[in-house]
Amino acid sequence: MIKSNVKMILNEIPSTVEVLAATKTIGCDRIIEAISAGIKIIGENYVQEAERKYEVIKGGVNWHLIGHLQKNKVKRAVRIFDVIQTLDSSELAYLINRECQHLDKIMPVMIEVNIAKESQKTGILPGDLETFIDEIVKFKNISFIGLMAMGPILDNLEAIRPYFRTAKQLFCRIRDIYGEKGEWKYLSMGMSDTYRIAIEEGANIVRIGTAIFGPRR
């Protein structure tokens, strides 16, 4: 099932869009099956869970952090993740930068934006984005590569489209201002039920769990 799900999704989407397999709670055997079917990026939500799986799976695939990063986990996160998609505070940027200085490494980071301005969600509010970037561009061991957006949960899937459109507009605006700094090129949005809409609205990384692995237990 996993193999055919991956193949179907890869066949269906444009080759310019990358599929991240969201692997929280999924065991290594099934993740390896997805990788052998063509998945090149896996996304984990928790540092500890990722470390456990990294022991088994290791390189050959790109590891992205897609869950909120706690400050006391930064040191461990920068060792295993190739990309941190969830930068949401300047304090976190400071800590990531400091740990990467020690490792002599430049960490590609995406800024998480709270596109629907939901109070219970992490992420930078759209209106605060430019100020936030002004604060963090000074960190030389971080490369800012794009935006990550979590849409609101809505009954009517189409209702998410305007939020994705807003995210794309923010993405382009920042590219116009800061484009020459770093490698600003990724817009990560869309999940199992919304990735088609997200791609239509400009996503070039989609994060898919259920549609690859089935429902999580």
Contacting positions for ligand PLP (CB under 6 A): 22, 24, 45, 66, 150, 191-192, 207-211
Closest residue to bound ligand PLP by CB: 209
Instruction: Please answer whether residues 191 and 6 qualify as being in contact, where contact means their C-beta atoms are separated by less than 8 angstroms.
Output: no
Q: How many CB atoms lie within 10 A of CB 6?
A: 23
C-beta closer to ligand PLP: residue 39 or 141? 39
Token couple for 49 = 């869970």
C-beta closer to ligand PLP: residue 22 or 74? 22
In whole angstroms, the minimum distance from the beta carbon of 66 to ligand PLP comes to 4
- Whole-number Å distance between alpha carbons of 151 and 148: 10
In whole angstroms, the minimum distance from the beta carbon of 83 to ligand PLP comes to 13
In whole angstroms, the minimum distance from the beta carbon of 72 to ligand PLP comes to 20
C-beta closer to ligand PLP: residue 42 or 95? 42
In whole angstroms, the minimum distance from the beta carbon of 11 to ligand PLP comes to 18
- Whole-number Å distance between alpha carbons of 16 and 25: 28
Helix, strand, coil percentages for the chain (3-state, nearest 5): 45, 20, 35
C-beta closer to ligand PLP: residue 66 or 110? 66
In whole angstroms, the minimum distance from the beta carbon of 190 to ligand PLP comes to 8
- Whole-number Å distance between alpha carbons of 93 and 78: 12
- Say which residues have a Cβ less than 8 Å from residue 211's Cβ, sequence separation at least 6: 5, 9, 192, 193, 195
C-beta closer to ligand PLP: residue 103 or 154? 154
